A and B are shown apart, each in its own frame.
Chain A
Amino acid sequence: MTLREYISTSVSRVTISLVLLTGCWVSADAQKLFRLEKDSIPLMRGFQLSFDLFGAGQMMLGDYGQYEAALRLNLHDQWFPIVELGYGKANHEEDAITGMAYKTQAPYFRVGIDFNMLKKKHQANRLFLGFRYANTSYKVDVWRKDQPDPAWQTPTRFDVRDEQCSQHWLEAVAGIDAQIFGPVHLGWSVRYKKRLAHKDGIIDKTWYVPGYGLWDSSALGGSFNFIIDI
C-alpha cells in the first residue's frame, strides 16, 4: 500500500466514524432539530441567487478557478434545496521546474440541500449544514517540451491532448450568510470533498478538476458568496 493510499484510507475511516457519530446525535435530537416549526410563516419563502466570488478571484489571480452561480429555494427558512452551476478552467503554462503544462475547461453542477441550524430561523442571518452531489465531464491537455531520456539520451515526448475525463463527488458543507442590506447577503462556506468515482484517461491522474479544484491538494474547499434574496 502506498503512503497516499494509506492516508486516504485513514481519512476515509475517520470520516465514516464522524458520520456515524453524527447519525447517533441526529437520531437523538432529530425530532426537535429537523421538524418544520409550526408557525404562521408559509412554507415557500422565495429564492436566493448567489455568485461565488472566491472562485472568480482564483480565476483572475491564478492559473485556475471557476465562475459559479447557485439558485437556492427557501423552504420555511429551514430547508434550502440548492443547484449550483459553474464553469471551471485551468491554464497552467509550462511549469518553471518540471516543464509540465496543463489545460482544461468545462462546466459542472452540484445539487444538494442546506439546513439552517439557527434556533431562531426566521431572521436574515443563517448558519448552514448541508451536502452536495457534484458531477463534471471534461477534457484535459497535458504536455511538456521534448526532453532527453536521462539514461538513453533519446528525445522523449509527453503530449496528451483532449483526454476525456469525468468525476463524481460529494461535499459536506458548513457555512453562514449574513444580511448586509435589504435583499443583499454575503456568506461563506467550508466544504469537505470526497470523490465517489473518477475517470482520468490514459494519464491516470488529473490536476485541476472543474468544480472540485486541485484533486491532489486538501480535501477542504470553500466559497465566498454574494447572495440576493428574491
Chain B
Amino acid sequence: MKKALLLIFSACMVACTSIDCPVQHSVMAHYAVMTSDLTAADTLRDTLSVTTKKMDRKDTLLLNQAIGVTSFSVNVSYTNPEDTLFFQFKNYPYMAVDTVWMKKENTPHFESVDCSASYFHIITTIRTTHHAIDTVTINNPSIDYDPQRVHFHLRLKSHN
C-alpha cells in the first residue's frame, strides 16, 4: 500500500503545467546576408532601413539602420496577400532604395484564449528591384514563431 501511495505521489509531482503562451511570440521574417556565391554568411556593410506603406499610405519603419550584422528580422503583415517592402541603403555608392514584393499565404494560428491571435505564413514568391540588392531567395518558406529559421538569403551587389 505504501508503494502505491508513493507511486501516486510521484505521478502527481511529475505532472507539470505548461506555458500558456509561447516565449517567442513574434512572427517575423528572418533574412541572412550572404556572400555572392551564397555559401557563407556575410556582414551588412551598408546602413539598411526597411519601411513599408501603411493603409493610409504613410511610411512606417520596420527595421531601423541596421549595419554590421549578418542577419536581421522584419515584421510580416497579418493578412495582406502581398507585402511591399522598401529596402533603403544609405551609402551604396549613393543612397539606393530597392522594392521587395513578398507574396504569401496567411494561416490564423491559435494558442489559447489567453494568448493574442497570430498568423503564420507560407511564402509563395519574392521578387525585388536590383539597385543595391543582387538577389533575395527563399531559404525556408514557413514563417512562424521559430526565431532560428532563416527564411530569406539576401545577396547585395558589390560596389568595389
A residues with CB within 8 A of B: 2-4, 7-8, 11, 14-15, 18, 22, 25, 92, 95, 97-102, 117, 119, 127, 129, 142, 144, 147-154, 156-158, 160, 172, 174, 190, 192, 202-207, 214, 216-220
Query: A101, A119, A153, A216: which has the most chain B beta carbons within 10 Å?
Result: A216
25 contacts between A and B (CB under 8 A): A3-B19, A11-B14, A18-B11, A25-B7, A100-B112, A100-B117, A101-B113, A142-B108, A144-B117, A148-B55, A149-B77, A149-B78, A151-B77, A152-B55, A152-B78, A152-B80, A154-B55, A154-B77, A160-B108, A160-B110, A192-B11, A203-B110, A204-B120, A214-B112, A218-B15
Within the complex, which residue of A98, A202, A206 is in contact with B117, where a contact is CB–CB below 8 Å?
Answer: A98
Q: Are A100 and B113 in contact, CB atoms less than 8 angstroms apart?
A: yes
**Chain A contacts for B108, CB-based, 8 A:** 142, 158, 160, 202-203
Q: Is the CB of B117 within 8 A of A219?
A: no
Question: Main SS of the interface on chain A?
Answer: mixed
Is the CB–CB distance between B112 and A151 below 8 Å? no
Residues of A with C-beta under 8 A to B10:
18
Q: Give the residues in chain A near B1, CB-CB below 8 Å.
A: 117, 119
| Inter-chain contact A153/B113, CB cutoff 8 Å | no
Name the B residues within 8 Å of A160 (CB-CB).
108, 110
Given contacts A98-B113, A156-B79, A203-B110, contact A18 B23 (CB under 8 A): no
Q: Contacts A217-B17, A220-B12 given: A18-B7 contact, CB under 8 Å?
A: yes
Contact A202 B19 (CB under 8 A): no
Check if B22 sits within 8 Å of A2, measured CB to CB.
yes
For chain B, the count of residues having a C-beta within 8 Å of the partner chain is 45
Which B residues lie within 8 Å of A95 (CB)? 113-114
The residue of chain B having its C-beta at the shortest distance from the C-beta of A3 within the complex is B23
Closest residue of B by beta carbon distance from A7: B18
Report Cα–Cα, A214/B17, bound state, in Å. 11
B70 shortest CB reach to chain A, Å: 23
Q: Mark B113-135, 1 if CB is under 8 A from A, else 0.
A: 11111011000000000000000
Min CB distance, B17 to chain A, in Å? 5
In the assembly, what is the distance between CA of A150 and CA of B55, in Å? 11
Q: Of A4, A25, A102, A152, which one neighbours B18 at CB under 8 angstroms? A: A4
A25, A156, A207: the one within 8 Å of B110 (CB): A207
Question: Of A2, A157, A219, which contacts B15 at CB under 8 A?
Answer: A219
Contact code string B38-78 (vs A, CB < 8 Å = 1, else 0): 00000000000000101110001010000000000001011
Q: How far is the CB of B76 from chain A (nearest CB, A)?
A: 9
- Residue B90, interface by CB 8 Å: no
| Contacts A100-B115, A152-B78, A152-B80 supplied; 15 other A-B pairs, CB < 8 Å | A2-B145, A3-B23, A18-B10, A100-B116, A102-B113, A117-B4, A142-B110, A147-B117, A152-B83, A190-B8, A202-B107, A204-B109, A205-B109, A217-B18, A218-B15
A13 → chain B closest CB, angstroms: 9
B79–A154 contact, CB under 8 A? yes
Task: Give the CA-CA distance A35 to B56 in the complex, in Å.
Answer: 77
CB-CB < 8 A to B15: which residues of A? 11, 192, 218-220
Determine if A7 and B114 form an interchain contact, defined as CB atoms under 8 angstroms apart.
no
